[in-house]
Structure 1
Amino acid sequence: MSISPSSDNSSFNDSISKFFRKLLAMVADLRLAIVLLLAIALFSISGTVIEQNQGLSYYQENYPENPALWGFFTWKLLLNLGFDHVYTTWWYVSILVLFGTSLIACTFRRQLPALKAAQIWKYYRQPREFNKLALSAELSVNGLAEIKESLTKKGYKIHQDNDSLYAQKGIIGRVGPIIVHIGMIVILLGAIWGAFTGFFAQEMIAEGETFTIKNFIEAGALTNLKKPQDFSVKVKDFRIDYSPQGAVDQFYSDLSIIDQEGKELDKKTIFVNQPLRYKGVTFYQTSWSISGVKVQLNNSPIFQLPMAELDTKGKGRIWGTWIPTNPDMSNGVSLITKDLQGTMFIYDMSGQLVGATRPGMPVEVNGVNLKVLDLIGSTGLQIKADPGVPIVYLGFALLMVGVVMSYVSFSQVWVLEKDDSTFIGGKTNRAQVTFEREIFTMIDSL
């Protein structure tokens, strides 16, 4: 006895077919979709609670090993799991892809067949066929014409064959869930596309300087194709508004977008919550600093010295620099300030306070006349690009339209006129009371 190769191939193909059907059924399972949606929501919340894309020192300070948060959650675990950049981790993107696959499978396995079934109908030609409807009635009058007229007024689409009639309305309600699924899939595609093609950068730029985006904190795998290289940004002006108590109230940056020939393409004064957007790149005002000071000794030329922010162990922000008062740099003073408008304090090389000054006010130190002409501020910019945002917006628009469409009731009515009697029945997928009221109104009118 021998077994033909064709039989083996057929059995193998049947096994493969059964496996894929089971896999499709599992992926399209509503319970799996709910679990994945909860996982996406949970990890998205974690990305909101945990500051993203910060430096190592930030996580070491806020998530120390001793004592560990909840007894086990430390900065090492946080970084190893990728919770410092949740939205671009392989496991978060994998969940999005799996959830999108589940939605697609559910659409083709459930929603499209339901729409197709709604478009398939037949006439009821026997009174007993009305018994299977939850709402039906037998009238001892010939009322097919009157019912047809009433259904037409109520917006039903009528199909009639002699004494049998079929009517339906609200087929858009069957399309709504499909649009909802498409909208959610588009949102997921936009999120994934943004993760692979977007970037996040930070720059600290002194007033008057021009820069191109270089300090990328995070970039997707395909970001090299999207990095802006055809324009630069100039910080034309930086200024701070102070409250009457001397605290920083608001800070502003006048930015100009400049092409390679130096032509201004766009400009805007940005401040907190008022960014500049250009070619999909958004420039946010996030911080400020003091980058330098212009000083003059006696009648010497004006020269500029850099200023650095000093470590105060969390007790406030101050900046300082060292100013030489001898040509051979054997002697000098330290200049300390806390803002762009306040008093600047001068210390000698032994650390003793020897004087205070304000911009434009000369002071004598070490036998020379020291004048601070200006403090140069620098603006801290957070720069983001997410090409997936328009796709996400489109997905949300489709989602909202689909939700509204889903609330439309899909109603069906069958009518049969036979032997001086009229049989009427129908069903709907929602708004049952309203549908029953429509049917009873037509019955009462007869």
Structure 2
Amino acid sequence: MAGLGNTRRQSLAARASTSGISRAPPLSDDPPEQAQRPLPTPPRGPHPGGPSPAPSAAKIVWKRALKQLSSLKLAIAEMAVILGLSAVGTIIEQNKPLEFYVENYPDGPSKVLGFLTYRWIYALELDHIYTASYFLALMALLAASLAACTSTRQWPMVKVARRWRFAQKPERVYANGELVAEALPSADIRDLAALLEKRKYQIFLKEGSLYAFKGLAGKVGPIGVHASMLLCMAGIAYGGLSGFKGTAMVPEGGDFIITQALRPSSPVALPPRGAEDVLHVNSFNVDYREDGSIKQYYSDLSIQDVDGKELTRKTISVNVPLRWKGVTAYQTDWSIAALTLRAAGSPLAPEDGSSFNLPMANLQGQPGVKGQLWGTFVPAETPNQAQGGQPRGVSIVARDFQTVVVYNSRGEFVGVRRPGSGKVIEAEGLQIVVDDLVGSTGLELKVDPGVPFVYAGFAGLMITTIVSYFSHAQIWALQDGSLVHVGGRSNRAIVGFKKEMNEVLDLVPERVP
């Protein structure tokens, strides 16, 4: 039957071409029936038949500006510059104090890359590039380009695609049929409409003329892509101007008011509600691998109100932050805050022989010290101290929470002890028992109100990008006696569209006159 249908359609199409039916030029964006209507008469006025008023200078300038902004080359150039600046922002550390850039990007013979110094970084605002005035201006320019392209190109295409574009003559049907142009003898246009409706086409019939389409989402998809990009950029700009950042190194048992550690990104930034609460560090723990290296470190945090009432509690780790009313606390660093020990014979020891704490100093960067190292000093009784003698005592150093190393006053190695082992080590007349190492957690605090908009924009971008690849198919048909002229086209999936149309036309029944 399919072969018979094809032969029937081809013979009739050839007969139609020999009978004087020619292909008209392609349709304009206006519907055919509108293009054929007589021009309306000009309104009556004091000067009938006179020239129409010239557009104002402001309107001309506005149209030219929209045309320039909607240029694809301009949009690509804007995106390239923004991507380049973003890459620079990932290489140069952002929002660090001046001392950091002076140390890592010094002036003089040791310039980074031979030219980059802290002076250039501050002059070009590379230390906060994502909130720099020129970066925000580029974002605004790209947003204007997207909006101009949407209003001048994408939206008019959608409006044209939604119109009921009936063809009034066979020539117009074949002109529209860029991919399919057939003529069916002894057929009824209503049968064709029923078959197309089963294929999920939107059908419109009017006095023997048919217009059908499907896949309008493919026309709307590019608008959604632009809208999603605008939402992403708005979220980035909003978060950059209204955000806060800060860091804190807090020992176990310590706390602080969150707003004290936050620095605004711009003068217009307003702190969130959660910034007025207190962050308390309940404990800090470290997990180690079998080789002794650190596997993960955890901080047990509580959010309290000013009266000390616990509002929420969570154990955080790297990539598992605490979120509270717009404030996010990330686990980023750690340190050793103090040493808990018993030291019989030391003037610092309590009379009852109980434990006491000594602060640990960070020795990283000191001469002869490589990597992280913390140390403290336990004084001993010094009989000749009043005569100006050097105080005696014990130095204790640690690289992590697993062991401590003990040295005497002459810098000689005495021994190694594991905190909590309860074993005594004697040096300089002191009997020392190391009970514990008190850790400090390094927290990075961040307030970014633009994150929900960025996430929503990227989600919309993924969806609308897929939708924009949907094909938009259009079909025209005209009843001419017992003859049905059919034409169709599609902007994508051309092979599939031709196959579908062949199947539909083969199924149109032949009606006996």
- Runs of 4 or more, structure 1, over 6 Å off, are 327-330
- Secondary structure at 1:102 match in 2: helix
Aligned partner (choices 364, 367, 373) of residue 318 of structure 1: 373
* Distance in 2 (alpha carbons) for counterparts of 1:347 and 1:88: 53
Instruction: Say if 1:417 and 1:423, in contact at 8 Å, map to a contact too.
Output: yes
| 1:109-120 correspondence to structure 2 within 5 Å | 109-120=152-163
Confirm whether residue 39 of structure 1 aligns to residue 81 of structure 2: yes
Q: How many residues align?
A: 434
CA distance in 1, matches of 2:271, 2:444: 20
Equivalent residue runs for 1:271-420 within 5 Å: 271-298=317-344, 300-301=349-350, 302-310=355-363, 311-312=365-366, 315-326=370-381, 331-333=391-393, 334-348=395-409, 351-353=410-412, 355-356=414-415, 358=417, 359=419, 360-420=422-482
For residues 247 and 126 of structure 1, the distance between their equivalents in structure 2, rounded to whole angstroms, comes to 82
Q: Is the 8 A contact 2:79 2:142 kept in 1?
A: yes
Match of 1:182 among 223, 227, 248: 227
8 Å contact kept, 1:194–1:387: yes
Are the equivalent residues in 2 in contact too, given 1:190–1:391 (CA < 8 A)? yes
CA distance in 2, matches of 1:58, 1:187: 31
Query: Structure 1 residues 218, 76: closer, same or farther in 2, change over 3 A?
Result: farther
Structure 1 distance, partners of 2:147, 2:445, is 35
Whether the 8 Å CA contact 1:241–1:248 is kept in 2: the answer is yes
**How much does 1:57 deviate?**
4.7
Equivalent of 1:98 in 141, 146, 152: 141
**CA deviation after TM superposition for structure 1 residue 397, in Å:** 2.2
Cα offset, 1:39, TM superposition: 1.9
1:215 equivalent to 2:261? Answer yes
Q: 1:248 corresponds to which residue?
A: 294
SS at match of 2:397: strand
Say if 1:361 and 1:219 are closer, same or farther in 2 by CA, change over 3 A.
farther
- Tell me if structure 2 keeps the 8 A contact 1:411–1:435: yes
Contact 2:257/2:277 (8 A) holds in 1: yes
Bigger shift: 139-148 or 250-259?
A: 139-148
> Is 1:76 paired with 2:135?
no
The letter of the residue matching 1:97 is A
2:484 alignment partner AA = T
Match of residue 504 from structure 2:
442
Q: Find out whether 1:203 has 2:248 as its counterpart.
A: yes
- C-alpha displacement of 1:271: 1.7
In the aligned structure 2, how far is the partner of 1:442 from the partner of 1:148? 10
Measured against aligned partners, the alpha-carbon deviations of 1:330-373 in whole angstroms (never above 9, x if no partner) come to 7243332222221322331xx43263353444444444434443
> C-alpha separation between the residues in 1 aligned to 2:295 and 2:504?
69
C-alpha contact 2:380 2:391 (8 A) present in aligned 1: yes
What SS does the aligned partner of 1:223 have? Answer: coil
Q: Report Cα offsets for 1:120-139 as digits up to 9, x if no partner.
A: 23321212212422132233
In the alignment, the residues of structure 1 paired with residue 293 and residue 227 of structure 2 have an alpha-carbon distance, to the nearest angstrom, of 50
2:132 to 89, 109, 112: 89
Residue aligned with 2:127, SS: coil
Higher mean displacement: 375-384 or 53-62: 53-62
**C-alpha displacement of 1:154:** 0.9
Shifted more, 22-31 versus 131-140: the winner is 131-140
TM-score by length of 1: 0.89
Letter in 1 for 2:187: N
User: Deviation per CA, 1:289-329, whole angstroms, max 9, x where unpaired?
Assistant: 11112344427314322211112467121112233324889
Q: Post-superposition shift, 1:379?
A: 1.0
In structure 2, the gaps of 5 or more residues are: 1-52, 509-513
Q: Are the counterparts in 2 of residues 291 and 377 from structure 1 also a CA contact under 8 Å?
A: yes
Q: Flag the 1:439–1:331 CA change in 2: closer, same or farther, 3 A.
A: same
Distance 2:339 2:284 in 1: 14
Distance 2:408 2:262 in 1: 38
CA contact (8 A) 1:207 1:376 kept: yes
Partner of 1:146: 191
Structure 2 partner of 1:26: 68
Q: Which residue of 2 aligns with 1:3?
A: none
Change (3 A) 1:118 1:365: same
Deviations for 1:109-130, whole angstroms, at most 9, x for unmatched residues? Answer: 1121111111223321212212
For structure 1, the 5+ residue unaligned runs are: 1-9
Query: Which among 183, 195, 216 is matched to residue 171 of structure 1?
Result: 216
Which residue of the other structure, out of 194, 201, 204, is the alignment partner of 2:239? 194
Answer with 113-122 or 369-378: which moved more: 369-378
* 1:225 and 2:278 matched: no
Give the drift of 1:425: 0.7
Aligned to 1:4: none
Structural RMSD (CA):
2.6
TM-score (norm 2): 0.78
Change beyond 3 A, Cα 1:307–1:115: same
Q: Are 1:202 and 1:217, in contact at CA under 8 Å, matched by a contact in 2? A: no
- For the structure 1 residues 331 and 112, does the alpha-carbon distance in structure 2 shift closer, same or farther, using more than 3 Å as the test? same
* Greater share of residues in strand: 1
How far has the Cα of 1:194 moved from its partner? 0.7
Residue 168 of structure 1: how far off its partner (Å): 1.5
| Compared CA separation, residues 229 and 280, structure 1 to 2 (3 A) | closer
Quote how far apart the aligned CAs of 1:225 are.
3.3
Between stretches 408-417 and 68-77, larger displacement belongs to 68-77
**Corresponding residue of 1:7:** none
2:253 aligned counterpart, secondary structure: coil
Query: Equivalent residue of 2:275, what SS?
Result: coil
2: CA distance between counterparts of 1:188 and 1:419?
58
